[in-house]
Chains A and B, each alone.
Chain A
Amino acid sequence: MERWRRIITQHRTPPADDVPVVLARDGTHGPVIHAMNAVARARGIAVGARVVDAQAIYPDLHVERADAAGDYKLLERLAHWARRWCPWTVRDGQDGIVMDVTGAAHLFGGEAALLRDMATRFKMQGLTTRLAMAPSRGAAQMLARYAPAFVICDGETMMAQLGPLPVAALRLSDDMLRLLTRLGLKTIGALTDVPRVALMRRFSGLAEDRNPLVLLDRATGRAADPLNAPPDAQVWLARVRLPEPVIDPVPQLPALAEALCVDLARAEQGARLLRLTIYRVDGEWRSRDVVTASATRDPAHMLRLLAGKLEGIDPGFGFDLLTLEALRIEPLSLHQDHLDGSRDAGRDVAALLDRLTARLGPEKITWSAWCQSHLPERVEARVPAIAHNAAPAPVMTCERPLRLLDPAEEVTVLYAVPEGPPARFQWRRVAYHMARFEGPERIAPEWWRDKPGTRLRDYYKVEVQDGRRFWIYRQGVLGDGRGGDPVWFLHGVFA
């Protein structure tokens, strides 16, 4: 919710504070509510309710799409960011982070101070938190979600703290919850009061993550529940520190690229995105990014790509630290040239793509992408060559011109009304006389995509007297009820 509010504030005016806002995700029977703001919560809207129901009750409800994938990514990054407090952190479900702060709390002045620090730091990022600290992971998960915020419990007080929590805190399936509720076991305390043997016998055949007894044991610390933290992302970085500030980065670059490539080669990786950063003496920093079409760890190639980017970089009064970082990497195994000494042609083209893209920009260098359409200008789209592969062209059933004017240019035409070929036409202030023609080829508008009222096109291949062959179309037919007289356009030229 808070992430949505921050993003929305950058793009448009957010709704006022007293408007109930909900985020919706797709449910089985239409959208359901995923998250809401404080106003909506105060009115009693529940997570998981259907949006249409909530809208019927509160017509002023403001509904937005939830971005679950974005939330997930943010949480992954937050889990890594949280390693500022302790080395073992892992994402917990869709909305939590578990940290193992064993032996780390004293660095922040005790457990309470650590939790306060966490709350402050998350608040600085615009996020509210519910924190709890407990001797076991399961207990902390339950307390953070179901207890009043800011709970710290130790081994003695833990059972007292867990007792009043509902059994839903154990993260059981819906069936199991219903069963326990029917049995009258509504709180954790009620569950622990039942003799273990009875619970064991009742839930013997269940899998570990659905068995209430196992989950309870994990929460109370009776069963082991270790934290499996993902490793830190490795940073591929080479840096040069200079004894004196300098203005020109070029002499330092070969050593930087060499060092980075040695690192990459050791891990059999290649760089797809490089960033060169200079740290100036006045505290500022400037950076330049270079994208490559295929993974590379060739220092000479990196230098050529960077060379075109250095002109615009402003060194100020000089800089004394220079880093080259591979921000995106891909596996790249060792590659051998052919035995006859020739190189792989595909790799040459990829290197050429890198150089062109580094200088001209990714949108300028394109492959053709093909669309299923009859309208000539829609058949061929262009995709950046750095990110896509070339696709084979479709086989056209009708002859098409070699060159296409984009957009088509209007011509004044003398023709036999209503559907005759163009006998004479004037284009770019030159008059042409038709010698031979072929057509018409009728292309109807695509009603599923075009605006209503779009007119059909009749294409003619017209050869004029000096031999040039044009592709001319008449837009509309006289009396088709979609505008006045038909208009003629010149769209292309044949070989």
Chain B
Amino acid sequence: MTPDSQFAQVISLSDKRLVKDVPAPHMGGAILRDALPDAPFDAAATGFVLACLPDSKDPVLWIQDRMSRRENGRLYGPALLGFGFSGNILRVEVSHPRDVLWAMEEGAACAGLSAVVGEIHGAPEVLSFTATKRLALRAESSGVPLWLIRSGDHGALSAARERWRLRSRPSGPNRYNAQAPGAPMWEADLFRARGRAPGVWTAAYDGGAQRTADRLRLLPGAGDGAVAADHHPASHATGR
């Protein structure tokens, strides 16, 4: 065998194992996922994470460090019900990112939680590859999905099984007022995933949908707009 053919064999093997369909982060899977907001003070990542949280009566543990509280504000409870999320949120507000990681690990060991979300601003040293690896392993062994919102961080190393970069897109058309913003749209960029091809999708969220699976839709072809419009028949009536 020549070295060249060996190389080709490896490529073809990995190509076969990659899943290429649309990912469904909101359909469960107890793994560690990263959500990176692309712009400062962009709630796209928060909205995406909330849309992906499982539909459960158990509380969600939501941990924030001081910097993310100051830069990105607090999660506002009264909005959640209108957004389509009805669970209880157990908040933990700590000052140092180290405590966020510790609390996430404690939360991951607790089967009574439906999910654990941690927010860390900037790329502090404690949030190293090893720390994320610990979290990822903990999530896989316990069965609690973990989300890490890393604002002000442009892709430092992470062992998260899925890494999403989120950015707000101009919203959908408003049915009653052409001047007003409508349903939220985000550009969801899955730039690293285990066992799955990365890709860019346009995410549309409808909190009022009956089934959980229908709430978050990932439409291929970000920035196109045409595909998204096809799913909103009402837009032609009220558009321009």
Tell me whether A and B are bound partners: yes
Q: Are B79's CB and A396's CB within 8 A?
A: yes
Considering only CB atoms, which chain B residue lies closest to A421 in the complex? B179
Given contacts A343-B111, A461-B181, contact A404 B59 (CB under 8 A): no
B42 to chain A, nearest CB (A): 6
Q: Are B90's CB and A385's CB within 8 A?
A: yes
Say yes or no for B233: interface residue by CB 8 A criterion: no
Given contacts A348-B110, A396-B81, A495-B43, contact A365 B91 (CB under 8 A): yes
Q: Interface range on chain B: under 10, 10 to 19, 20 to 34, or 35 or more?
A: 35 or more
Q: Are B94's CB and A406's CB within 8 A?
A: no
Say yes or no for B145: interface residue by CB 8 A criterion: no
Q: Are B78's CB and A380's CB within 8 A?
A: yes
Chain B positions 107 through 147: 1 when the CB is less than 8 Å from some CB of chain A, otherwise 0: 10111110000000000000000000000000000000000
Q: What's the Cα separation between A111 and B145 when bound, in Å? A: 73
Residues of A within 8 A of B43 (CB): 401-403, 468-469, 493-495
Considering only CB atoms, which chain B residue lies closest to A436 in the complex? B181
B130 to chain A, nearest CB (A): 21
Considering only CB atoms, which chain A residue lies closest to B114 in the complex? A345
- Cross-interface CB contact of A469 among B102, B111, B184, cutoff 8 Å: B184
Residues of B within 8 A of A69 (CB): none
Chain B positions 172 through 183: 1 when the CB is less than 8 Å from some CB of chain A, otherwise 0: 001001011100
- Point out which of A365, A376, A382, A403 has the most chain B C-beta atoms below 10 A from its C-beta: A403
Q: What's the Cα separation between A382 and B106 when bound, in Å? A: 22
Q: Are B171's CB and A467's CB within 8 A?
A: yes
Residues of A within 8 A of B73 (CB): 403-406, 492-493
Q: Which of B59-107 contact A (CB under 8 A)?
A: 59, 61, 72-83, 86, 88-94, 99, 102-103, 106-107
A394 to chain B, nearest CB (A): 7
Say yes or no for A187: interface residue by CB 8 A criterion: no
Say yes or no for A161: interface residue by CB 8 A criterion: no
Q: What's the Cα separation between A395 and B81 when bound, in Å? A: 7
Given contacts A436-B180, A493-B41, contact A402 B77 (CB under 8 A): no
Q: Are B75's CB and A402's CB within 8 A?
A: yes
Q: Are B82's CB and A396's CB within 8 A?
A: yes
Residues of B within 8 A of A342 (CB): 111
Q: Are A461's CB and B112's CB within 8 A?
A: no
Q: Are B46's CB and A365's CB within 8 A?
A: no
- Cross-interface CB contact of B88 among A364, A367, A382, cutoff 8 Å: A367
Q: What's the Cα separation between A468 and B37 when bound, in Å? A: 11
A294 to chain B, nearest CB (A): 12
Say yes or no for B40: interface residue by CB 8 A criterion: yes
Q: What's the Cα separation between A463 and B58 when bound, in Å? A: 34
Residues of B within 8 A of A355 (CB): 106
Question: Which of B22-30, B162-170, B190-198 is the interface stretch?
Answer: B162-170
Q: Are A393's CB and B168's CB within 8 A?
A: no
Residues of B within 8 A of A401 (CB): 43, 76, 79
A contact residues, total (Cβ < 8 Å) = 55
B202 to chain A, nearest CB (A): 11
Residues of A within 8 A of B201 (CB): none
Residues of B within 8 A of A396 (CB): 78-79, 81-82
B133 to chain A, nearest CB (A): 22
Q: What's the Cα separation between A469 and B205 when bound, in Å? A: 15
A64 to chain B, nearest CB (A): 38
Given contacts A349-B112, A495-B205, contact A368 B89 (CB under 8 A): yes
Q: Are B83's CB and A402's CB within 8 A?
A: yes
Considering only CB atoms, which chain A residue lies closest to B69 in the complex? A406
B44 to chain A, nearest CB (A): 7
Residues of B within 8 A of A345 (CB): 58, 111-112
Say yes or no for A356: interface residue by CB 8 A criterion: yes
Residues of B within 8 A of A340 (CB): none
Q: Are B50's CB and A438's CB within 8 A?
A: no
Ranked 8 nearest A-B pairs via Cβ? A495-B47, A348-B112, A345-B112, A467-B168, A438-B180, A400-B79, A463-B181, A349-B112
List 11 additional contacts besides A349-B90, A392-B88, A437-B181; criterion CB under 8 Å.
Answer: A348-B111, A349-B58, A352-B109, A359-B102, A393-B81, A403-B43, A403-B72, A428-B41, A463-B171, A469-B168, A493-B42
Interface residue ranges, A against B (CB under 8 Å): 342-349, 351-353, 355-356, 359-360, 364-368, 370, 376, 379-380, 382, 385, 390, 392-396, 399-406, 428, 435-438, 461, 463, 466-469, 492-495
